[in-house]
Amino acid sequence: MNQWANVVRWEMRTRPFLRTAEFLWQEGHTAHATKEEANAFSKKMLHEYARFVKESLAISVVEGQKPESEKFPGANITYTIEAMMQDTKALQAGTSHDLGQNFAKASMIRFTDQAGEMQFAHTTSWGMTTRLIGALMMVHGDDDGAVLPPKIAPIHIGIVPFLMKDGDSSLILGYIDRLRLSLESVHYHGAPLRVEVDLSDERAAEKAWRFKKMGIPHLIQIGMKEVTENTITLIERDIMDTSKETLQAGHYVEHITDFLDRMQARMFQKSKQFREKHTFFAHNKAEAFTYLESGVGFVECFIAQDATIEKELKEKYSVTVRCIPLETLLETGPCIFTDKQGQKALLAKAY
């Protein structure tokens, strides 16, 4: 079962986009005959969430398993994707739960097996919420506003006309209209490109500023010079300070999808490189405490699942064990806090 629903929670301390009293979420549930099937499906949904966040939102994430203290109440295993914001804090961007038979027994969810015997189902639950909007703003945004990845941008291209102060602007407007129609005939990832032309009475600089704040991937400026030379002036939102260039209009239309895909890839790589740059491995307790005190970002270390350690980390450094990364799930080593055998875990401050 898959559902989209509004949820109300009586949050005492709300935070825009991240923790609100009412939010929209997507939630799914499945029931399986065996625990192996249920676990495999819960991992499959985690990978789907990770794929969506990486490929569509251009946000790099760590796929991992929550420690016992952080897993969903009643779940056997909770899987998570963790993203790093620009302030180096973690944000849980989606979860998938292997619920075992716990909820099936509580709700009497049963099936008849091949031997004709009644058995309790093995169930899963998985979901994401509109906090991903917050993740988008906090990973990609800058001091001038939103920066939206092309694959999810409501508008791909914003066109700003530079009209004649005194005289006829019909040539400019006609040129823009033909360009808009050409662009809208191009399909980008299964749908026509979405183009907006600002024909308001505001100054051109104000129109450009509005598009910039909205995070529209491509800003195009068209004046009499561009009409005469059959060109466009392009500014790409993610690299506005360095990207202003003049292109032949036909070349731009022909290669627009390549331009947008390159921007999408740049944004993901920037997110990935930022996370990697601010992730540090602690070989011992002293190193871990130094990293945690300075708030440098994510700290990787071997740690045993111990409530006392986790309590100290939370109370002293406002840090939690975000997850045990799936790519190193089987990797073990001496816990830097207790010398017991531990798993490689990710520690961080989080929203």
Mean pLDDT, the chain, integer: 96
Residue 167 is predicted with a pLDDT of 76
| More confident of the two residues 295 and 102 | 102
Instruction: Report CA-CA distances (Å) from 214 to 40, 55, 180, 209, 268.
Output: 40, 21, 19, 9, 19
Q: Which residues, 6+ apart, have CB-to-CB distance to 295 below 8 Å?
A: 88, 349
> Which amino acid makes up residue 17?
F
Q: Where are the chain's structural domains?
A: 2-140, 150-262, 279-348
CATH architecture of 279-348: 2-Layer Sandwich (3.30)
Asked whether the beta carbons of 126 and 38 are under 8 A apart, the reply is: no
Checking if the pLDDT of 9 tops 80, the result is yes
DSSP state of 73: T
What is the mean pLDDT of the segment spanning 199-225? 97
Residue 3 is predicted with a pLDDT of 95
DSSP state of 351: -
Q: What is the pLDDT of residues 297-306, one digit of tens each?
A: 999 999 999 9
Q: Shortest CA distance to 99 belongs to which of 125, 65, 79?
A: 125
Asked whether the beta carbons of 30 and 38 are under 8 A apart, the reply is: yes
| Fold that domain 150-262 belongs to in CATH | Rossmann fold (3.40.50)
Q: What is the pLDDT of residues 17-32, one digit of tens each?
A: 888 889 899 999 999 9
CATH architecture of 2-140: 2-Layer Sandwich (3.30)
Q: Which residues, 6+ apart, have CB-to-CB distance to 320 below 8 Å?
A: 70, 310, 313, 314, 347, 348, 349, 350
Asked whether the beta carbons of 277 and 328 are under 8 A apart, the reply is: no
Q: What is the pLDDT of residues 329-339, one digit of tens each?
A: 999 999 999 98
Shared fold status for 2-140 and 150-262: no
What is the mean pLDDT of the segment spanning 25-47? 98
